[in-house]
Chain A
Amino acid sequence: MKFTCSQNNFLEAVLTVQKAVSARSSTPLLEGILLETQKDVLKLVGTNLDLGIETYIEADIREEGSVVIPSRLLSEIIRKLPDAEIEVTLLGNYSVKIVCLNSLVTLQGFAPDEYPSLPDISESEPIEISKMLLAKMIRETIFAVATDESRPVLTGSLLEVEDGEVTMVSLDGYRLALQKGRIESSAGHRKVIIPGKSLGEIGRIIDGSDDNISITISDRHVLFDLGYTRIISRVLEGEFINYRQIIPEDYRTRVKVDTKILTSSIERASLIAREGKNNLIKLNLQDQKMTITANSESGQVYEEIPVLLEGKDLEIAFNARYFMDMLKAIPDQEICMDLTTNVSPCVIRPIKGSDYTYLLLPVRIFG
Chain B
Amino acid sequence: MNSNERLILHIDVNSAFLSFEAVYRLQHGETVDLRDIPSAVAGSQATRHGIILAKSIPAKKYGIKTGEPTWEARQKCPQLVTVPPNYALYMFCHNSLKELLKNFSDRIQVFSVDEFFLDVTGMPGADQPLELAHIIRKRIKKKLGFTVSIGISSNKLLAKMGSELKKPDAVSTLFPPEIPGKMWPLPVEDLYMVGRATSLKLRKMGIGTIGSLANCDLELLKYKFKSWGKLLWDYANGIESSAVSSSSRDTVKGIGNSTTVHFDVEDRRTAHQVLLSLVETVGMRMRFSGLCCRVIAISIRRAEDLTFYSHQLKIQTPIDSTTAIYEYCKRLFDEAWGGEPIRHLGVRVSDLSPAVHIQLSMFEKEWEKQKVIDRAVDQIRMKFGPGSVIRSNFLWSGLAPMEGGLSDDASYPVMTSIL
Q: Does A366 contact B363, Cβ atoms closer than 8 Å? A: no
CB distance from B310 to the nearest CB of A (A): 19
Is A174 in contact with B362, judged by CB distance below 8 angstroms? yes
The smallest C-beta distance from A17 to any residue of chain B, in angstroms, reads 36
CA distance A343 to B360 in the complex (A): 8
On whether the beta carbons of B353 and A363 are closer than 8 Å, the reply is no
Number of A-B pairs, beta carbon distance below 8 Å: 44
A365 interface residue (CB < 8 Å to B): yes
* B332 located at the interface, meaning its Cβ lies under 8 Å from any Cβ of chain A in the complex: no
A246–B357 contact, CB under 8 A? no
Instruction: Check A367–B356 contact: CB distance below 8 A.
Output: yes
CA distance A364 to B357 in the complex (A): 6
Chain B residue numbers with a CB within 8 Å of A363 are 357-360
Identify which of A173, A278, A317, A367 contacts B361 (C-beta below 8 A): A173
Question: Is B410 an interface position by the 8 A CB rule?
Answer: no
Interface of A is mostly: loop
Q: Chain B residues near A176 (CB, 8 Å)? A: 362
Chain A residues contacting B359 (CB-CB under 8 Å) are: 174, 278, 319, 361, 363-364
Decide: A365 and B356 in contact? CB cutoff 8 A.
yes
Extra contacts besides A151-B363, A277-B353, A361-B362 (5): CB < 8 Å: A174-B359, A317-B357, A319-B359, A363-B357, A366-B358
Q: Could you mark each residue 358-383 of chain B with 1 if its beta carbon is under 8 Å from any beta carbon of chain A, else 0?
A: 11111110000000000000000000
Indicate whether A177 reaches chain B with its CB closer than 8 angstroms.
Answer: no
- Establish whether residues B360 and A171, one from each chain, have CB atoms under 8 Å apart when the complex forms: no
Query: B interface vs A, CB < 8 Å?
Result: 249, 316, 353, 355-364
Chain A hits for B358, CB < 8 A: 363-364, 366
Which of these, B353, B356, B362, contacts A246 with CB under 8 Å?
A: B362
Do B356 and A366 touch across chains, with their CB atoms under 8 A apart? yes
The minimal Cβ–Cβ distance linking A173 to chain B, given in whole angstroms, is 5
Measured CB to CB, the residues of A under 8 A from B are 151, 171, 173-174, 176, 241, 246, 277-278, 280, 317, 319, 343, 361-367
**B184 CB to nearest A CB, Å:** 40
For B249, B316, B359, B364, the residue with the greatest tally of chain A CB atoms inside 10 Å of its CB is B359
- Report which of A151, A277, A362, A367 forms a contact with B360, defined as CB distance below 8 A: A362
Whole-angstrom CA separation of A277 from B357 in the bound complex: 10
Q: How far is the CA of A343 from the CA of B368 in the complex (A)?
A: 12
A and B contact pairs by CB, cutoff 8 A, 27 listed = A173-B316, A173-B362, A173-B363, A173-B364, A174-B316, A174-B359, A174-B360, A174-B362, A246-B362, A278-B357, A278-B359, A317-B357, A319-B359, A343-B360, A361-B359, A361-B361, A361-B362, A362-B360, A363-B357, A364-B357, A364-B359, A364-B360, A365-B356, A365-B357, A366-B355, A366-B356, A367-B356
Nearest neighbor of B371 in chain A, beta-carbon distance: A366
**A367 contact set on B, CB distance < 8 A:** 356
Report how far A198 CA is from B335 CA in the complex, Å: 31
Tell me which residues across on chain A come within 8 A of B361, comparing CB atoms: 173-174, 361
A278 to B361 alpha-carbon distance, docked (Å) = 15
Question: Complex: how many Å from CA A272 to CA B361?
Answer: 24
In the A-B complex, list the 3 residue pairs whose CB atoms are closest, starting with the nearest: A361-B360, A278-B357, A364-B358
Q: With A and B bound together, what is the CA distance between A241 and B357 in angstroms?
A: 26
